[in-house]
Amino acid sequence: MIADFEPGQDRIVLRAIDAVADEPGHQGFTLDQDGSFSAGEIRLREVKAGLLVELNVDDDARPEMTILVRGGGTLTVDDFVL
Ligand SMILES: [Ca+2]
Ligand SMILES: [Ca+2]
């Protein structure tokens, strides 16, 4: 959970995580644009407590990891290091 995220100042660094488990080597994440939520994609989902960042590293469209960013506001791809 991230409690005090400041857009424009803070960035969420996901680069260290291998985004595609089935592919050899290290891949970075991309932001899901078409709703497919494929392997190697992150998506943002608004929930009551804030914004949920969901990470998918394999072929099923369920997140392997989620990060809750508390508070209002939305995030863009610029708020991440992918
Ligand atoms: Ca990989
Ligand atoms: Ca998955």
Instruction: Tell me how far the alpha carbon of residue 62 lies from the centroid of ligand 2, in angstroms.
Output: 4
Residue 4's Cβ-side half-sphere holds a number of Cα atoms within 13 Å equal to 0
pTM of model > 0.85: yes
One-letter identity of residue 15: R
Amino acid 67 reads: I
For the chain, domain boundaries: 1-74
User: Residue 34, Cβ neighbours under 10 Å: how many?
Assistant: 7
Q: What 3-state class would DSSP assign to 24? A: coil
Q: What's the gap in Å between 1 CA and the centre of ligand 1? A: 25
Chain segment 17-31, per-residue pLDDT in tens: 999 999 999 999 999
Q: How far is the CA of 47 from the centre of ligand 1 (A)?
A: 29
User: How many degrees, rounded to 5, is the angle at CA 32 between CA 81 and CA 46?
Assistant: 85
Provide the pLDDT for residue 76. Answer: 93
pLDDT at 19: 98
What 3-state DSSP class applies to 31?
strand
Q: What pLDDT digit, counting tens, does each position of 32-73 carry?
A: 999 999 999 999 999 999 999 999 999 999 999 999 999 867
